[in-house]
Amino acid sequence: MSQFYNQIAEKYDFIFPLSPAHKTFFASELHGKTILDVGAATGNLTAYLSSQGYEVTAIDLSERLIAKAAEKGVTVQQLNMLAIDELPMFDNIVCIGNTLPHLDSKTSVQLFLQKAYGQLTQGGKLVLQLVNFQKYFAQQQGDYLGNLPLIENDKVKFERYYYLNEEGKIRFKTILDDTIKNEELLQPIFADQLTQWLTQIGFQAINLYGNFKKDPFDKEKSMALIVTAVK
pLDDT digits (tens, 9 = 90+) for 100-151: 999 999 999 999 999 999 999 999 999 999 999 999 999 999 999 999 999 9
Same domain membership, residue 101 and residue 53: yes
Domain membership of residue 201 as a residue range: 3-132+188-230
Measure CA 112 to chain center. 13
* CA dihedral angle for residue 43, residue 61, residue 173, residue 140, rounded to 10 degrees: -90
65 & 145 share domain: no
- 90 and 141 in a single domain? The answer is no
Residue 88 pLDDT exceeds 80: yes
Within this chain, do residues 142 and 63 fall inside the same structural domain, yes or no? no
Contact 193, 101 (CB under 8 A): no
Report helix, strand or coil for 152.
Answer: strand
Half-sphere exposure of 38 (CA within 13 A, CB side): 29
Measuring CA to CA, which residue among 114, 146, 142, 119 is closest to residue 131? 146
What integer pLDDT is reported at residue 160 of this predicted model?
A: 95
* Residues 75 and 13 occupy one common structural domain: yes
Contact 197, 110 (CB under 8 A): yes
- Alpha-carbon span 165 to 52, nearest angstrom: 43
Radius of gyration over every alpha carbon of the chain, rounded to an integer in angstroms: 17
Same domain, 64 and 156: no
For the stretch 22-64, pLDDT in tens is: 999 999 999 999 999 999 999 999 999 999 999 999 999 999 9
Q: Quick one: 106 and 125 in the same domain?
A: yes
Domain count, the chain: 2
Task: Say what the alpha-carbon torsion angle 200, 202, 206, 208 is, to the nearest 10 degrees.
Answer: -40
CATH code at position 49: 3.40.50.150
Q: Looking at the structure, tell me whether residues 155 and 53 fall in a common domain.
A: no
Q: What is the pTM of this model?
A: 0.95
* 38 and 116 housed in the same domain: yes
Shared domain for 110 and 152, answered yes or no, is no
Same domain, 73 and 152: no
Alpha-carbon span 225 to 182, nearest angstrom: 24
